[in-house]
Chains A and B, each alone.
Chain A
Amino acid sequence: MLKIENLHASIEDKSILKGLSLEVKAGEVHAIMGPNGAGKSTLANIIAGKEEYEVTAGNIELDGEDIGELAPEERAHNGIFLSFQYPVEIPGVSVTNFIKTAINETRKAKGLEDMPAKDMLKMIREKSELLEIDRKFLSRSLNEGFSGGEKKRNEIFQMAMLAPKLAILDETDSGLDIDALRIVANGVNKLKSKDNAVIVITHYQRLLDYIVPDFVHVLHDGKIVKSGDASLALELEAKGYDWIKQELV
């Protein structure tokens, strides 16, 4: 589904990704771990198409198609979803209105009519139940005054509504208490299918107890330096990142 080859990227002339390659197939869950500054969030943003990064070499393909030149919204229309580490506030725009706009804009891009209100209502009801979101929450301004947990839960709610092909969860576990973590992870697991894929970016093993990855990659200094199965995450947790760094020397 996603194929990244020899990706080099920089921001303001500072090189961040230095030859990263990654392949994610449908039905798989990949975890990307690594110390601060390794380039994890950069990778997420570049896949989503954030413009301030400059891709200097390599390419990104989604379903065999080079998406390097696509605008962020076009990538979204093609099924890429990013759960943000720090979701932004949009005062005065309700959660409902925002998701309705997102869904209908995506449908419009595909030449479809707006989703009938009845269908959307049904879907909202279903997905908000899945994430244990109460109705009043849906009327609040997007992310305004939300707790850390509410923000992340809202991200996953949007993911559930948009049903992306490829979901990238950027530090979705940060700022979550254990109950919220369970709800969010449970939501992600229920959304998983053989047709979609998830990339989980995290510092810690904790989230991976709930969302069990098929592959774990360690990102260090802009490259994937080690890959393995779920046991690699446990090993990292036990030995710390210094172990990887030493191994590289």
Chain B
Amino acid sequence: MSKYTEEQLEQELKTQEYKYGFYTDIESETFAKGLNEEVVIAISKKKNEPQWMTDWRLEAFRVWKKMEEPEWANVQYEKPKFQDIAYYSAPKEKPKLNSLDEVDPELLDTFKRLGISLDEQKKLANVAVDIVMDSVSVATTFKKTLGEKGIIFMPISEAIQEHPELVRKYLGTVVPTTDNFYAALNSAVFSDGSFCYIPKGVRCPMELSTYFRINEGGTGQFERTLVVADKGSYVSYLEGCTAPSRDENQLHAAVVELIAMDDAEIKYSTVQNWYPGNKEGKGGVYNFVTKRGLCENNAKISWTQVETGSAVTWKYPSCILKGNNSVGEFYSIAVTNNYQQADTGTKMIHLGKNTKSTIISKGISAGSSQNSYRGLVQIGARAENARNFSQCDSLLMGNLCGAHTFPYIEVKNKTAQVEHEATTSKIGEEQLFYCNQRGIDTEKAIALIVNGFSKEVLNKLPMEFAVEAQKLLEISLEGSVG
């Protein structure tokens, strides 16, 4: 910070803890368990898809059948039984409850600590409540504004119907169906997701958030997202929410593809808070995600993620810097507590000249968790003057957790400059005592220290999201130091 003006000082003092947004997981009507060609065809049919889409899914399914589940990640879990999963979910009404007394008390407690109002608690827990949902009107205004700019933002299932030419042109071009085991599976059976197209030269006037979309078409366990930013356009996209997402589905395998054409910029921010399992490490979501973006000339893609949930996470948002002067960024905070395991990082593939990438990864491990950073920086033979800067910091709490860093660097061009820095630190007794002495209890002190540690990444998130993420970090680490 070069200056610290009176206004900035005032701003910092004013920053309040945030009142939370909401996010509903919509319970689903499901197909019978098991996966075969008939199921793939049935999914496609159920969604009324054109033949090319059905063929695309079937092709993916055939590839998937021949693939093996990868084992290289630094995580241990019981592999999902793929024939024991139901592959189609359609949104269905949850059973209505009559009062909050019928809701799981632990869930209510979490709501309370997130500062969610009583009315919203009812909404989240699906208790009958007579208030007009504000988000409906917000979403309407929102759609109108986007429509005027020619921006398309809708569930991908609708986009397949309404804009088949766009979807067909770009789907699978960044993450091919053959890319990996889980991407192939997703391609065969994805239930829904988002599609976004920003026309040439258009600067999307607001943050596009799944928050506005979630009640229109439920997302299932295999989510598919495709964002296309045409030449010279800009979009900031937010995914996920901080409210705890309870889900019956154990396996989540999403695919996200971003395409930034010449001079375009995409900012993609994620806050992920899937159910991490209980304190003994039972239950919890497996989150195996493939996220990748393609940059054409002078384009830029930034991935920012705050990962606090899931029992097992396996996720590497990546950038293919194909165009000259293109820029890729990855900012990540991954928190693991109790028995969570995360193997996450990024891939920066430099193909064009003067390409630049920045990686800032912050891993926070507590309890008996394991937190790994895995990153690949690859500089191609033609990538003259490519630059990369990577920084991986780990913060440990207690003596039972682990932090691991696996950097892979492959350079095929002599003009490249690649820098990698890594640090590991521990929250010390002295730091805690210092805070305690100033009247800050240990729980709050940890939150303060963790937020300080994560600041570089939190600063990259859009404002409201950053405040939510900050609060989420606090809650995720509650009780982690005895």
Which A residues fall within an 8 A CB radius of B?
Answer: 48-52, 71-73, 75-77, 81-82, 84, 87-88, 90-94, 96-98, 100-103, 105-106, 109, 117, 120-121, 124, 135-136, 138-139, 141-142, 158, 162
Contacts and interface: CB of A to CB of B under 8 A. Distances in A.
B441 interface: yes
Given A50-B433, A97-B12, A139-B1, A90 B439 contact: no
A93 B444 contact: no
10 contacts: A49-B437, A52-B429, A77-B439, A93-B448, A101-B444, A101-B448, A105-B438, A117-B10, A121-B13, A124-B13
A135 B428 contact: no
A72 B436 contact: yes
B10 A88 contact: no
Contacts of B436: 49, 71-73, 76
A49 B437 CA distance: 8
**Main secondary structure on chain B at its contact with chain A?**
helix
A73 B452 CA distance: 20
Nearest to A110: B439
Given A73-B436, A81-B437, A136-B4, 12 more contacts: A71-B441, A72-B436, A82-B437, A88-B428, A88-B434, A92-B454, A97-B12, A97-B448, A102-B439, A102-B440, A139-B1, A158-B438
Given A92-B455, A101-B440, A117-B13, A135 B6 contact: yes
A90 B449 contact: yes
Contacts of A87: 434
A105 B9 contact: no
B79 interface: no
B415 to A, nearest CB: 34
A100 B386 CA distance: 43
A121 B453 CA distance: 25
B3 interface: yes
Contacts of B442: 73
Nearest to B2: A136
A124 B9 contact: yes
B456 interface: yes
Nearest to A141: B452
Contacts of A52: 429
A80 to B, nearest CB: 8
Given A105-B441, A105-B444, A88 B430 contact: yes
